A and B are shown apart, each in its own frame.
Chain A
Amino acid sequence: MSRIAARFKALAAQGRGALIPYLEAYDPDRETSLELFRAMPAAGADLIEVGMPFSDPSADGPVIQAAALRGLKAGATLVGVLDMVAEFRKGDDETPVILMGYVNPVESYGYERFCKDAAAAGVDGLILVDLPPEEGAVIAAPAQAAGLDIIRLVAPTTPDARLEYVLGHASGFVYYVSIVGITGTRSASAHDLAGAIPRIRAATDLPIAIGFGVRTPEQAAQAASIADGAVVASALLATLAQTLDEQGRATSQTLPRVLEQIRGLAQAVRAAGQQPE
């Protein structure tokens, strides 16, 4: 069983959903982001999403855009991101790691070589925001050969007929984009989520994580109990950005404050437990 499947299964047995925090690789520098990465599981991360910085993140809001730019300025490359995952794996063989980013750097690296190298580094799944299933043939076979899950996004705009098509190309878990918009801008209401998740459940057996607009411990707890997991990205990156000095460098506050926020999110998610279906 893959790390992703094993983790969701174990959490389901505990009766709760997953907290999936996000970090942007090399933000604000390689060492700080690696240290944060390594400290995340102890702070309560059940799975971790690592952002691969891209120059033109057209589905992201200002917070992730700024994080990606900081990462690139600090020298992030895909080789460097994979190396970070390999370093992380030396101390953690259980926490699933998902890389999230845009397709061009991966195409530039080469799909087959990337999937091989990512799996070797210890990556479990990939989310390529701008690679819909219609264009996904380039990565489907190499990912499967390497044992990587291709995690598909589903949006409120995805009609039922299309849901089936998209989920036919999904593995690992389903990432529900809970709002119509870019990352870190709006939040979905509990009412919207309660309506949306059963529609997806009906179309797949995969676990469902909710992302885009999950910011507070309350929202995370709610999302993780309505679905199977909550992704928190912009809220954490915003905290990280606040701790940087005027030159954009990490300070003594950077790690403690981000980790404290993750602990708060984890506590809420664990306390909420999973509502019976």
Chain B
Amino acid sequence: MANPIEHGGAAAQSNSFRQQPDEHGHFGGRYGGRFVAETLMPLILELNEAYEAAKADPAFHKELVYYQTDYIGRPSPLWFARRMTEAFGGAKIYLKREELNHTGSHKLNNVMGQILLARRMGRTRIVAETGAGQHGVATATVCALFGMKCVIYMGATDVERQKPNVFRMRLLGAEVVPVTAGAGTLKDAMNEAMRDWVANVADTYMLIGTVAGPHPYPAMVRDFQSVIGEETKAQMQAAEGRLPDVVVAAIGGGSNAMGIFYPFLDDVSVRLIGVEAAGHGLDSGKTAASIERGRPGVLHGNRTYLLQNADGQIDEAHSISAGLDYPGVGPEHSWLNDIGRAEYVGATDTEALEAFQLCTKLEGIIPALESAHAIAYAAKIAPTLSKDTLLVVNLSGRGDKDIFTVAEHLGVSL
């Protein structure tokens, strides 16, 4: 299996796209960074040192690979979606099956890396934010595995629309704290998790679930998630003898996308497409498409594209998918957008619902609503592409958690 994190700074060419961020955590000199209160600064710096040390330690890699293989169940398959390919009538569609990981999404890749790091650092208490609950469940899972105290902050709105995951987290022994501030979604949960961390710095590790937050989180989470892209590369090589032509992934904070994009950044023949949640539509005012409808600003420790008003107040995001309902995006995506190395597009709530049903009926795979956004965009472009085009969709999570939301939108009462 590809070593998931050793490539962090190992790209050979000087013109590589894989040498970001710089030592200050800046991507392209502008995005990312460390925008946190002084109380947290020493902790962020300590975390950076600890992560650099772990990255250079073969024992850490060995331990991570052990858990990836025997606990998460990696590698995940790259599935040729025959019926979907026929239905779309164009590009050959492959699905990277991250929904088959333990806990049902790509989230565990990152969580496992960070919990091993937290243990190395001697921390005993974990706090995390969650939107859809996938990151919360993954975090609660590893805390159960290692017998660590776990507190999950979740927006009150999300607690309501993701009840099964809330119950899972509690079964796993986590304390789930509903956050009523703001609209009660992921952004508010993130604020509250940061408040907890700042008040409990001595024993607490903050386990951020996406490629955002102060440096080193965006780079570290990307490194832990890059196992997705490394495997995809090798698996496509084995199946087709070459690289894919197009890689499509959904973007909320952007960790599953960064994980599958990163190993392909220097393979410039590979088109990388990030699909943001357009909500009711990109221009509806009810959207979560931070790159397409936002502008750069500073929130939650980093500079990145944000949905904000003219005065720099952060707007509420909207998406049918709780996991994409966030007004920001990882800073590396902001940079990749600006330099044109990746394309960022949107899929609406309605398109995601259609794709959710389509994937379920054609492939027998119920995708997460988050991943359904990527499928929706693949469905849009596949017919315009030649039959020898290889298109990979990152199927980042399974949709069992979403059946209540989907049923409600389809007018079915369960």
Contact = CB atoms under 8 A, between A and B. Distances in A.
Contact of A158 (B33, B35, B41, B300): B41
Given A56-B314, A182-B199, A158 B38 contact: yes
B37 A153 contact: yes
B198 A180 contact: yes
Interface in A99-149: 102-109, 129-132, 134-135
B240 interface: no
B312 A105 contact: yes
B198 A181 contact: yes
B299 interface: yes
B199 A180 contact: yes
A104 B308 contact: yes
A227 to B, nearest CB: 16
Contacts of A61: 195
Interface in B283-325: 297-301, 303, 306, 308, 310-314
B24 interface: yes
B122 interface: no
Interface in B4-57: 24, 33-43, 45
Contacts of B187: 56
Interface in A175-192: 177, 180-182, 185-186
A72 interface: yes
A185 B308 CA distance: 29
A107 B297 CA distance: 7
Contacts of A2: none
Interface in B155-196: 181-182, 187, 190-191, 194-195
B38 A177 contact: yes
Contacts of A59: 37, 39, 194-195, 198
Nearest to A152: B38
B35 A55 contact: no
A130 B181 contact: no
Q: How large is the interface on A (under 10, 10 to 19, 20 to 34, 35 or more residues)?
A: 35 or more
Interface of A, secondary structure class, is loop
A109 B207 CA distance: 32
A154 interface: yes
Given A104-B297, A157-B42, A158-B38, A56 B33 contact: no
B312 A177 contact: no
B406 interface: no
A78 interface: yes
Interface of B, secondary structure class, is mixed
B2 interface: no
A156 B99 CA distance: 43
Given A78-B311, A108-B308, A158 B42 contact: yes
A72 B297 CA distance: 19
B201 interface: yes
A77 B45 CA distance: 33
A211 B194 CA distance: 19
Contacts of A162: 41-42, 45
A56 B34 contact: no
A173 interface: no
Contact of B199 (A106, A129, A152, A185): A185
Interface string B190-231: 110011001101100000000000000000000000000000
Contacts of B37: 58-59, 129-130, 132, 153, 155, 177
Given A130-B36, A135-B33, A158-B42, A55 B199 contact: no
Given A134-B34, A135-B35, A58 B191 contact: yes
Contact of B191 (A56, A129, A152, A157): A56
A58 B195 contact: yes
A181 B63 CA distance: 34
A105 B313 contact: yes
A207 to B, nearest CB: 18
A208 to B, nearest CB: 14
B153 to A, nearest CB: 12
B42 A182 contact: no
Contacts of B190: 58
B39 A180 contact: yes
Contacts of B303: 107
Contacts of B299: 56, 104
Contact of A132 (B36, B194, B306): B36
Contacts of B310: 108
A265 B184 CA distance: 36
A132 B39 CA distance: 10
B311 A157 contact: no
A65 interface: yes
A181 B35 contact: no
Given A157-B43, A180-B201, A55 B182 contact: yes
A166 B38 contact: yes
B298 A103 contact: yes
A260 B147 CA distance: 51
Contacts of A65: 181
A72 B312 CA distance: 12
A54 interface: yes
Contacts of A103: 35, 298
Nearest to A62: B181
A155 B43 CA distance: 12
Nearest to A72: B313
27 contacts: A55-B182, A56-B191, A56-B299, A58-B195, A59-B198, A61-B195, A65-B181, A104-B298, A104-B308, A104-B314, A109-B312, A129-B37, A130-B37, A130-B298, A131-B35, A132-B34, A132-B36, A134-B34, A134-B41, A135-B33, A153-B38, A154-B38, A157-B41, A177-B37, A180-B198, A180-B201, A182-B198
Given A54-B313, A135-B34, 10 more contacts: A58-B194, A59-B194, A78-B312, A103-B35, A103-B298, A104-B299, A104-B314, A152-B38, A157-B42, A181-B39
* In the complex, the 5 A-B pairs of residues with the closest C-beta atoms, listed nearest first: A108-B312, A105-B312, A181-B199, A155-B39, A153-B38
